[in-house]
Homo-oligomer: A and B are copies of this chain.
């Protein structure tokens, strides 16, 4: 790039308008990091297109001038997926936030990438339908970001993740050409599954213009429960037993003692602070099924050693259960300067073994690890509380992270269930996939983005 900062600014202003080009240091700083524990990198400029057309032109301009481009929704991802290249361009999707259509008859919606997840889910609910994916950051995260990261959430066990709701994605290729993929029909096999390829591609293969999302009928009834255990391994065995009994709860979450105490400290929710583990469970569907499943879950939990199982009596109690769960990350994050939230995921039956492994790792590296997460999916969030400025401790943290990945992979698991690879885990990719998949991916990237300007460094490392 040979342009002066001034001429660059003017050229972007010509595309997106004067008010939508940011070059002040404070602005650039706020776009230099995301929710991952990684060094920040300030872009040279941030732009905020207000129209799809301007978005396409920005992409083309960046490619023509070889400028690295990182698209940013809320920056709430946990893997460095929105940390820009130093001196690159951040494209903010905040102004592309229109819900273009909610079609209740055919049960789909068409949205721009900057629509906030929870706002969308609420609009869908107002039309009597249901959009299940509910990542932890849903009150700020955007649907574009959710698709780019294949965001999960608390309802993945029964309802799947973002991938399962993407019917189509229209995106700009690196030349600024609009590529239409997928369909508003529930079945479509016309051409390569490019919409599927966009999911989890973290902005490295194209820039989303609009997204077609599947909607479903809402469950008729739901029941939330809290099962108290005085042993973490017993709780995790109960998780495996529930699944093995062919019950599919909407949500099946676990919390260890440290997390329970920290959450209760954060906001009085009436959690049993002496419990070694809690399972937070919600079953939903037809009222008769909900009743039966709730009874079965209670029975299984008690068989596995639960000291008590409390069923939420009303909507307020139910909301309290889920608020407590959603408080886990912010509560833990307050405890120490640095919070490393991991995401290793194992087949569900391996949850007890993974819990055991996490205990051992915490002891071995003398670290405080709070563990909670989507136990029903095998998707745990061991959370290491540390201080990155303490180099000796940070060194142990890095070793513990390596150990967590090793154990997850040895149990037939994966590096990341839902947080993405981004910058944070790209160096671990070949551990899980081998060089073959990495090389295949790099070949694709090299032809789809020859100058490597689309969110460089993420996933495949360049």
Contacts and interface: CB of A to CB of B under 8 A. Distances in A.
A246 interface: yes
Contacts of A416: 188-190
A181 interface: yes
Interface string A439-462: 111011011100000000001100
Interface in A135-177: 149-150, 152, 156-157, 161, 163-164, 173, 177
Number of copies: 2
A187 B448 contact: no
B106 A348 contact: yes
Contacts of A188: 345, 414, 416-417
Nearest to A438: B191
Contact of A187 (B161, B173, B240): B161
B186 A418 contact: no
Given A196-B197, A444-B447, A379 B191 contact: no
A443 B437 contact: no
B246 A128 contact: yes
Contacts of A379: 185-187
Interface stretch (A32-40, A227-235, A264-272, A283-291): A283-291
Given A193-B197, A289-B289, A441-B194, A157 B185 contact: no
Interface string A219-246: 0000000000000000000001001101
A249 to B, nearest CB: 12
Interface of A: 103-108, 128, 149-150, 152, 156-157, 161, 163-164, 173, 177-181, 183-194, 196-197, 199-201, 205, 216-217, 240, 243-244, 246-248, 285-289, 292, 345-350, 374, 377-379, 412-421, 425, 429, 432-434, 436-441, 443-444, 446-448, 459-460
A128 B245 CA distance: 11
B190 A415 contact: yes
Contacts of A189: 149-150, 200, 414, 416-421
A230 to B, nearest CB: 25
Nearest to A188: B414
A459 B193 contact: no
Nearest to A439: B177
A440 B289 contact: no
